[in-house]
């Protein structure tokens, strides 16, 4: 990276999906407008990393198919879940309690990286994070995210889906820590019908405190992207 960026960290705890989406857009839109207007460094909205846990929700990316949601509206209500079609890349995924959802609102141009490298760095940060808990994560050709045993019985531990405008990012990653994986039974995760999902708790066979994983992920993001926190 050409410069050292400073990033504000927000841990929102547990929040509704739409509320958090709106919160992201406040900063995302401000940064995009500043870039369009070529605002000087002194007026820039700082880069930001948001951590949050959501209530049960299914989100479908702009290139996804609603056929990958296997529930109707009444069935969604029965499972206390909501559904949103959103403006990120990728297909359908699930967010819920026991999952760290990370929303980096980064100016990639300011960091000196491109979008493809950004996705790879997100994957690397997650791979480093889960390695601290004794889990070997990998990439899978043609499938964004972090996977376990990609060559044999591939199962996804972290989904990634982003939006970018003028090299400003929003949306991000969803790392399964102690997630109720049964909610994935009601979708074709990320459009796949032949691959599974997993979590840190399932892979390790033990309870892992959410705060412990957040701390490791917080550090992994800083190490991989090379920024500093305010």
| CA dist., res. 128 & res. 137, Å (int) | 8
- Is residue 1 in a domain? no
| CA dist., res. 73 & res. 83, Å (int) | 9
Both tokens of 138, joined, read 């990998």
Q: Structure pTM?
A: 0.90
129 has catalytic annotation: no
Local confidence pLDDT in tens for the 230 residues of the chain: 445 789 999 999 999 999 999 999 999 999 999 988 876 555 689 999 999 999 999 988 876 677 778 676 677 776 778 888 887 877 788 999 999 999 999 999 999 999 999 999 999 999 999 999 999 999 998 888 999 998 778 999 999 999 999 999 999 999 999 999 999 888 775 445 457 899 999 999 999 999 999 999 999 999 999 999 99
> How many domains in the chain?
1
Catalytic-labelled residue, pool 7, 157, 190, 221:
190
- Is residue 132 in a domain? yes
Which range marks the domain in which residue 83 is found?
A: 6-229
Q: What CATH number is given to the structural domain containing 69? A: 3.30.930.10
């Amino acid at each position: 990276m050409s410069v050292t960026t400073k990033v504000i960290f927000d841990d929102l705890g547990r929040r509704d999906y739409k509320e958090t989406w709106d919160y992201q857009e406040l900063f995302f839109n401000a940064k995009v407008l500043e870039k369009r207007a070529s605002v000087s460094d002194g007026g820039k909205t700082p880069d930001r990393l948001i951590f949050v846990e959501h209530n049960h929700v299914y989100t479908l990316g702009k290139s996804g198919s609603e056929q990958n949601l296997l529930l109707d509206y009444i069935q969604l209500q029965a499972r206390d879940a909501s559904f949103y079609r959103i403006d990120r890349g990728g297909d359908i995924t699930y967010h819920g309690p026991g999952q760290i959802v990370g929303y980096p609102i980064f100016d990639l141009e300011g960091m000196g990286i491109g979008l493809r490298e950004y996705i790879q760095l997100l994957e690397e940060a997650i791979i480093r994070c889960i390695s601290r808990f004794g889990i070997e994560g990998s990439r899978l050709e043609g499938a964004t995210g972090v996977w376990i045993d990609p060559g044999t019985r591939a199962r996804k531990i972290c989904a990634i889906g982003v939006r970018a405008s003028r090299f400003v990012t929003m949306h991000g990653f969803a790392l399964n820590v102690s997630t109720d994986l049964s909610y994935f039974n009601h979708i074709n995760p990320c459009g796949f019908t032949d691959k599974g999902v997993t979590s840190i708790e399932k892979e390790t066979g033990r309870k892992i405190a959410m705060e412990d994983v957040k701390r490791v992920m917080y550090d992994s993001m800083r190490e991989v992207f090379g920024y500093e926190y305010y």
